[in-house]
Amino acid sequence: MKTFDLILRGGTLVTSEDEQIADIGIADGRIASLDREISGNARQEVSATGLHIFPGVIDSHVHFNEPGRADWEGIETGSRALAAGGGTLFFDMPLNAHPPTIDAASFDEKLQAAQSKSLVDFAFWGGLVPDNLDHLEELGERGVIGFKAFMADSGVEDFPRVDDRTLRAGMKRVAKLGGLVAVHAESQTITSELAQQAGARGQTSVRDYLDSRPIHAELDAVGRALEMAAETGCALHIVHVSCGAGMALVASAQKQGLDVTCETCPHYLALTENDMLQLGAIAKCAPPLRSRPAQDALWEFVKSGQVTTIGSDHSPSPPEMKTDENFFKVWGGISGGQLTLPLLLTEGYVKRRLALWRIAALTSFNVAERFGLPETKGRIAVGADADLGLVDLSQSFVVRAEGLWHRHPHSPYAGRALTGRVVRTILRGQTVFHDGKMVSPPLGRLVKPLKL
């Protein structure tokens, strides 16, 4: 008879294809058995009857700002917020750390910080900036998940945007390495010109900011990035596509055979520009929140499976960076990493009949597949790491600061009722979060893609 470390009994497993009730037997951090009823001994048994078991959320887009700006968030607080939301792996962006992650030395610094502090597994994006083309290869060797470039100003001085010539050159190099480039796609020309005009007129309100970053500025940059992907053969991932029109461009490029995928974020699906107008700084992001019709069109792409991944773009700052009278000067970034699953369950599953398996695919399986993670990540299957989020769909909760685990617990969702409470998060077989408490030391490990 088999012996397990843990058996989860009677939960509804949500895989990237369907849902079924089964027991999960876990041994040595891996899923050792999946069966309607597992017989065998276990050191611990947990009843999951009535709960849905999701593959642990893989958040492919967070800004934890460490080393160098841990006062903005930090790996310890950021990773615990993810764990509280059913997350088991994050990909940290390269720009807000100081030094930014643009060469081997800065990668090593970040690795050292994360190894001792992260409650969940982690991977790192490398930066693609104007002066680091000769460092892309060493970043690839270190195991970055991909290379991130900004087509518009990043908001961080030591992480400059790329012009088209640099981006094209970078994509050529990354294509040779067999890697992937992700772009923040907004036109610098259009957005800076509109911002300058508004500034000259003394217009600095939320509305003025929204008007300075129109959808056509996003489409312009997406279009150019797609052209460069076609030209260079580089795999491309467009992060935080904010509207249906952006998705349509990506979808038509896919039809032409381009290796391009896209991400959107919960805030583009749960909030509109009216929320930014009402909430102000706490809901500022770039690209900005869009109109209801643009959001409706985005949802259609989510429901049809044409959106590849959903990442939180958790991008916090200290509250004092959110207070400027001039809305253009306020730090742009939404703190949402803990709430990805409840937001998708509420806005998707409950309100729009988005299938649960689709949510599992968007937040886990698709991410693992697109970024070439080892087969042990992103699935509920025998042999996979036991990375799991147990969710009670019968429970609703109101988002309150005291329930948020990131460093500065402000949230544009404060006061909202969400469906789907994460009751337990399991990382490689170990419970890291249970019933509102962190219950393990930092166990996170670096995950590298197989491809690069």
Interface contacts to Zn ion, rule CB under 5 A:
313
Q: Could you tell me if 338 and 82 are in contact, meaning their C-beta atoms sit under 8 angstroms apart?
A: yes
Could you tell me the smallest distance in angstroms from the CB atom of residue 265 to Zn ion? 8
Helix, strand and coil content of the chain, in percent to the nearest 5, comes to 35, 25, 40
- CA distance readout (Å), 226 to 57, 300, 311, 313: 28, 22, 21, 22
What's the longest Cα–Cα distance across the chain? 77
CB of 125 or CB of 405, closer to Zn ion: 125
Q: Which of 391, 404, 452, 379 is nearest to 123 (CA)?
A: 452
CB of 92 or CB of 313, closer to Zn ion: 313
Could you tell me the smallest distance in angstroms from the CB atom of residue 286 to Zn ion? 9
CB of 10 or CB of 333, closer to Zn ion: 333
Could you tell me the smallest distance in angstroms from the CB atom of residue 287 to Zn ion? 11
Sign of CA dihedral 348, 354, 357, 358: negative
Q: Could you tell me if 346 and 419 are in contact, meaning their C-beta atoms sit under 8 angstroms apart?
A: yes
CB of 96 or CB of 232, closer to Zn ion: 96
Angle between helices 164-177 and 215-232 (to 10 degrees): 50
Could you tell me the smallest distance in angstroms from the CB atom of residue 333 to Zn ion? 7
CB of 23 or CB of 59, closer to Zn ion: 59
Report the amino acid identity of residue 307. Answer: V
CB of 289 or CB of 427, closer to Zn ion: 289
Could you tell me the smallest distance in angstroms from the CB atom of residue 100 to Zn ion? 13
- CA distance readout (Å), 382 to 22, 27, 108, 376, 400: 12, 11, 33, 9, 37
Sign of CA dihedral 299, 303, 305, 309: positive
Could you tell me the smallest distance in angstroms from the CB atom of residue 315 to Zn ion? 5
CB of 186 or CB of 313, closer to Zn ion: 313
Could you tell me the smallest distance in angstroms from the CB atom of residue 50 to Zn ion? 36
Q: Under 8 Å CB-to-CB from 33, ≥6 apart: which residues?
A: 2, 4, 23, 24, 25, 40, 382
- Reading the block at residue 66, the tokens are 């460490």
CB of 59 or CB of 347, closer to Zn ion: 59
Could you tell me the smallest distance in angstroms from the CB atom of residue 88 to Zn ion? 20
Could you tell me the smallest distance in angstroms from the CB atom of residue 91 to Zn ion? 11
Q: Which of 262, 283, 313, 373 is nearest to 92 (CA)?
A: 313
- CA distance readout (Å), 209 to 67, 199, 236, 290, 341: 30, 10, 28, 12, 29
Residue 174: burial class (beta carbons within 10 Å; 0-12, 13-18, 19+): buried
CB of 313 or CB of 387, closer to Zn ion: 313
